Chains A and B, each alone.
Chain A
Amino acid sequence: MPAYLDVLNAKFPNAFTTSAFRDNQRVQLDAETAPRVLFPLLRTLKEQCGFDMLFEVGGIDYLHYPDAVDRYCVVYGVLNTTTGERLFVKAFANDPDPVLPSAVPLWEGANWMEREVFDMYGIAFTDHPDLRRILMPEEYTSFPLRKDYPLRGHGERHNFQHLTRAES
């Protein structure tokens, strides 16, 4: 068993589950415990387990995915730069109000990556210093990487005022 699991088990008993696939190790937090446990768990990983770099933050929408329980998921990938050990922390969230604590107080690198998750999935991060849309325009109202957002279509074009050459 990896060393970080002893530390996490002692500090957060029964708060998370683990899984593994190929060489990926994962720790999952369900939607009920994630808002409360995610930040202290990441802090423990950073300060006590040697995972000093956050290399990846990405969102996933599990709507209609086989055997999925919660809908949204944010994947935090942490890396120990000395040993090269990697761990993924998956924190789930649900409609109507998906909110998770931000990792920016721990790693400045989370800033833009969390903004992208917010932009694409509408998952809000509390205590984020600058939670604005990053890739889509400010006026945009939808979250394009959600599974209920269509792949094809006219998109949000009808939301924007149509200007002819004479009017502009």
Chain B
Amino acid sequence: MPLEAVAQLDDAPEREFLYTLNFGPQHPATHTTLRLVLTLNGETIVKAVPDIGYLHSGFEKLGEDLDFNQYVTVVDRMNYISPFANEVSWHTAVEKLLDIELTPRCQYLRTILAELARISDHLLCIGAAALDLGGLTAFLYAFNEREKIYNVFEAASGQRFHPGYSRVGGLMNDITDDVVELVRHFVRTFPKAHSDVVRLLNRNRIFVDRTKDVGILSKAEAINRSVTGPIARASGVVRDLRKDQPYLAYPELQDTFKVSCATGGDCLARYLVRMEEMIQSANIIAAAVENIPAGPVNVDLEDKLTIPDKQATYRSIEGLIQHFELFMWNRRWKTPINEVYAATETANGELGYYIVADGSGKAWRARTRPPSFIHFALFPHMAEGHQISDVPAILGSLNIIAAELDR
């Protein structure tokens, strides 16, 4: 945005006392490439104008060119802190469009891995929020745990950061016993690391002073501004898609978790909600990992929806035919000429995909409902009137992921 445009935006009468400060796009406290144009009176923020688009890479245009399985690799790179949750959300929408009922084993595996992704996302958010406020130690404890989650994804899919593990109607491959053992190990050791972070931060005078009553969002404002996820729950909006419209294995796991809410609506409340959600997620994983149903991970080969495994491709004519049917650019899936929206609860809030299908195996339109984009719009509302040192606290509590913000 040109600076003249910023000057026009600003119609405060005492203009001569104000000055403009560019916060970002390359600033350590913004974590990713986003820019804030702050109009300051001394150190008080009079006006904040976010300027985004530095990471815009046309993901939604690509979604109209890649097929439902190929697009998984792009979806991974939206919220790259919890990539598997994005994959689950994308394929939930695709499977709703194609009317696919997943196998129980796949539902449980996706649930476990999506919850691990949620913990991973919350750990980064909390660690980085503390880091920006000067608490380096909590960041290291949090990243130590994230490493274990990456190990789980590596064991399951072969890739640590962007697993690309989900497929239409199932998963790339079934998991091995190693993965179950790694998840068990994580669930066993996580509560200790969690309580370490709690002891470092919850009663930390500096941390509490800098987050309490900063960036307050009321319940009415949260609803009016389309806020979802932990930010809405910290403002007292009791909504969680895992409870309100359960998907995957959540209907069977309802007793294992509670929706964590707070009423403060400030940065501290958002931190506390995320901390509690991690415990609830660990409970879900602990219950789910002991009850993974046996059976196939993909839907039946007869349905002609999933990629057959190598054994079927090379050893049977039906498998070979179906493999080519799904990979030839003019074949792929037969979709209804209709459109569908499906959403899941990811770490940042409701991540939804609106797919318009035209009968071919590609989406006509693959609209993402990105929680980061909607939450970053809150920033001027939260920051105005606060000090410039509160900017990292607010940004940290919003957990903006620029790749998802700009797509």
Contacts and interface: CB of A to CB of B under 8 A. Distances in A.
A3 interface: no
Contact of B373 (A61, A77, A116): A116
Interface residues of B, number: 50
A115 to B, nearest CB: 9
B374 A112 contact: yes
B226 A66 contact: no
Interface in A113-136: 113, 116, 120, 130, 132-136
Given A66-B337, A145-B60, A58 B5 contact: no
Given A111-B377, A137-B53, A144-B58, A21 B339 contact: yes
Contacts of B359: 66
Contacts of A77: 341, 354, 369
A39 interface: no
Interface in B219-265: 221, 223-228, 237, 239, 244-245
Most buried by A among B5, B64, B359, B364: B364
B341 A56 contact: yes
A21 to B, nearest CB: 5
A22 interface: yes
Secondary structure at the B interface, as helix, strand, loop or mixed, is: mixed
Contacts of B339: 21, 24, 60
B345 interface: no
B377 A55 contact: no
Contact of A151 (B1, B65, B226, B356): B65
Contacts of B61: 144-145, 151
Given A66-B337, A112-B374, A75 B226 contact: no
A8 interface: no
B358 interface: yes
A138 interface: yes
Given A21-B338, A65-B358, A66-B359, A60 B365 contact: yes
Contact of A54 (B52, B56, B226): B226
Interface of B: 1-2, 5, 9, 52-53, 56, 58, 60-62, 64-65, 96-97, 99, 221, 223-228, 237, 239, 244-245, 336-341, 350, 352, 354, 356, 358-359, 364-365, 367, 369, 373-374, 376-377, 381, 406-407
11 contacts: A21-B338, A55-B228, A58-B354, A81-B239, A84-B245, A111-B377, A112-B373, A113-B374, A120-B60, A135-B407, A144-B61
